[in-house]
Chains A and B, each alone.
Chain A
């Protein structure tokens, strides 16, 4: 019989949640699991249409497909140019997606996929999930590889004849590959001065 044990477990969990106090504690650890199980098993095959994330560091999750720079220009001019402008130099809605490489040590940092992305598969992941903004997830796998190739080429990162696919995209060396440090805060050491402070 499941019901009696479930009820007692729920009662214990509810008591634990009710007794937990926020006040005076520095952390609020989650109450212990009630060990009830309401999820339904699902196979990886049945959630395949949802499984769209790419681990961008090594391209894990990239689907089989391919696209060229020239094909990418065709897709871009049809589906991206209205917002991002000709040659991805900025348009009606968004700024440039080209250039900025080398700008981070100046007083004006220009953020583009070329200058900023540490890993090229970010292009595939982001275009697939979010672009074009009025019809996300409408591009085919080959179209996404092609647009990725086109943007990388406009930024001078891959040659005109490059082909991007499930293997080559992750091998592209991005200029900002080593541009990140992990969080090392607190990085300030302010003092609680009360009088004659400055």
Chain B
């Protein structure tokens, strides 16, 4: 920590004298003291920046600047230990349950990631969406056990200590709930992109390939499916084809550099890249190898898709190619001039090859810029410069993935599926309308 003398004399950093610091004791600094030259520079700078952002509209000059209070006193000292949290001024950036589809209890419920406030492709751990079937259990990792049995040569038990001894693998992947968007197929029920698309997050996941553990147990001939079961009060359970399990599934114990959060499956979960979040079983305690799917409630009565003629599509695991504009998006208000349209694109079947943006309701599309990194089964950022002239507009994005699949419209999907009731796997193009006064609204209808 600098001494008081440092404040009075100016500090020397790497040979440069910081002459901007006022030469005064912290007790008698006037808030009006400022450096005139610096103030003029800032005023010029803000005028220039404003000119770019508004497309050259004339602006009133900025008001004279005072020295910020933050420069005239101590900052908050470093505590002996802590866990950092966001600025109090960001307290509106939160996971939220929705008021569009309200459950009458909050144990089997969900909360949404605030995508409109996410910068870059990684979702902070405290904002990764939640979907539980009987709340979040509180599990002591020292007591937790993972068991693999069934059609294996040798059933095995693993402690967390055991799992952490294996070489680790870290991968960036998106995760999306199959129910993302279920309230907004045919009518604009939701206001914000958090409500329409917030059952979507992206993280760097760290753990051990399931194939390594199955290599250790050995697999009996004829094995084709694998059951994964959680240690929560719902005993949540799904069947996954052995081929996918051996291909790229991970036993994950960490996300974004730290151990999993309790609501994300602490101390260990399954991660199935590109597939619906529901199969990424949290609080994983048991893996059983079999020769056919179990047909649990969670893969028959739920997480199935209504089809024409009263039928249901089952084991529809892939989260198909999709994109959405997150800024500007529902609930925002914009001014005429230059805007960067920002959004996410992702595909459970590969990488994003291209994203197109329309600002005229789908009559004309232009290719957006994809920002590196563009990763397999991961959120990809797209950006598109838009000079909004001020009239009514409808904006939307359309993604293409590395298989050549083009994100469909809801109308395209309606032709081949039944959109009735609680419909999963909504990957339709999602439009926002911009009114003449700049109000941005959900325009899915």
Binding site for B on A (CB under 8 A): 10, 13-14, 17, 20, 22-31, 33-44, 47, 50-57, 83, 92-94, 104-105, 107-109, 111, 113, 116-119, 122, 125-126, 129-130, 133, 136-137, 176, 179-198
What are the interface flags for B307-330 relative to A under an 8 Å C-beta threshold, 1 for contact and 0 otherwise? 101111111111010000000000
3 closest A-B pairs (Cβ-Cβ)?
Answer: A39-B156, A129-B235, A104-B310
Contacting pair A28 B364 (CB below 8 A): no
A contact residues around B421 at 8 Å (CB):
108-109, 111
- Which residues of B, 227-262, contact A by the 8 Å Cβ criterion? 227, 229, 233-235, 237, 246-250
Among the stretches B28-36, B48-56, B73-81, B398-406, the one at the interface with A is: B398-406
Contact of B300 among A50, A117, A195 (CB under 8 A): A117
Q: List 19 A-B contacts (CB under 8 A).
A: A26-B376, A26-B402, A28-B273, A38-B158, A38-B216, A40-B156, A42-B149, A56-B294, A57-B294, A57-B295, A94-B104, A109-B310, A117-B301, A122-B300, A179-B311, A183-B317, A190-B408, A192-B406, A194-B356
Is the beta-carbon distance between A180 and B234 smaller than 8 angstroms?
Answer: no
A51 to B32, CA, bound (A): 73
Query: Most B CB atoms within 10 A — which of A10, A53, A113?
Result: A53
Contact of B212 among A30, A56, A179 (CB under 8 A): A30
**Cβ contact within 8 Å between A126 and B420:** no
Q: Are A185 and B320 touching (Cβ within 8 A)?
A: yes
Chain B contact residues (Cβ within 8 angstroms of A): what range?
35 or more
Instruction: Tell yes or no: B375 within 8 A of A by CB.
Output: yes
User: A188–B157 contact, CB under 8 A?
Assistant: no
- Say yes or no: B215 contacts A35, CB within 8 Å: yes
Q: Which residues of chain B come closer than 8 Å to A43, judged between CB atoms? A: 155
Task: Determine if B203 is an interface residue (Cβ-Cβ < 8 Å).
Answer: no
Inside 8 A of B162's CB, which chain A residues have their CB? Answer: 38-40
CB pair B406 A191 closer than 8 Å? yes
- Interface pair B296/A56, CB less than 8 Å apart: yes
Q: Does B286 contact A (CB under 8 A)?
A: yes
Query: A24 → chain B, closest Cβ, in Å?
Result: 7
B1 within 8 A of A: no
B113 in contact (CB, < 8 A): no
> Which residues on the B side are within 8 Å of A125 (C-beta)?
294, 296-297
A135, chain B: closest CB distance, angstroms = 9
- For B413, the chain A residues whose CB sits under 8 A away are 188
* A56 cross-chain contacts in B, Cβ below 8 A: 294-296, 300
Q: Give chain B nearest CB distance to A82 CB in angstroms.
A: 11
Tell whether, in the assembled complex, residue B158 and residue A39 are in contact, meaning their CB atoms are under 8 Å apart: yes
Q: Please choose the segment from B62-70, B123-131, B166-174, B194-202 that sits at the chain A interface, where 4 or more of its residues have CB less than 8 A away.
A: B166-174
CA distance A83 to B420 in the complex (A): 26
- Having A129-B237, A183-B318, one finds 13 other A-B pairs with CB under 8 Å, namely A14-B167, A22-B373, A27-B376, A34-B212, A55-B292, A56-B294, A56-B296, A57-B295, A93-B104, A104-B306, A136-B234, A190-B405, A192-B398
Residue in B105, B212, B235 whose beta carbon sits within 8 Å of that of A130 in the complex:
B235
- Using Cβ atoms and an 8 Å threshold, which residues of chain A touch B363? 195-198
A28 to B133, CA, bound (A): 30
The reply to whether A181 and B314 form a contact with Cβ atoms under 8 Å apart is yes
B165 touches A192 (CB 8 A): no
- Given A104, A111, A187, which contacts B416 in the complex, CB threshold below 8 Å? A187
Say yes or no: A17 contacts B406, CB within 8 Å: no
CB distance from A170 to the nearest CB of B (A): 12
The answer to whether A183 and B166 touch (CB under 8 A), given A27-B248, A31-B209, A109-B306, is no
Central interface residue in A109, A130, A195, by most chain B CB within 10 Å: A130
Q: Do A181 and B233 have beta carbons less than 8 Å apart?
A: no
Contact A192 B400 (CB under 8 A): yes
In this assembly, does B412 line the interface, its C-beta being within 8 Å of a C-beta of chain A?
Answer: yes
Q: Would you call A130 and B147 a contact (CB within 8 A)? A: no
Q: In the bound complex, do residue B312 and residue A181 qualify as a contact, i.e. CB atoms below 8 Å apart?
A: yes
Chain A residues within an 8 Å CB radius of B237:
53, 129
**Contact status B376-A25, CB under 8 Å:** yes
Task: Given A37-B216, A52-B235, A183-B314, decide whether A119 and B295 contact each other with a Cβ distance below 8 A.
Answer: yes
Are A33 and B212 within 8 A (Cβ)? yes
CA distance A186 to B255 in the complex (A): 31
Interface residues of B in 61-120 (CB under 8 A from A): 104-105, 107-108
Task: Give bound CA distance, A119 to B297, whole Å.
Answer: 9
Q: Is B165 in contact with A30, judged by CB distance below 8 angstroms?
A: no
Taking CB atoms, residues of chain B closer than 8 Å to A116 are 300-301
Q: Could you mark each residue 264-285 of chain B with 1 if its beta carbon is under 8 Å from any beta carbon of chain A, else 0?
A: 0000000001000000000001
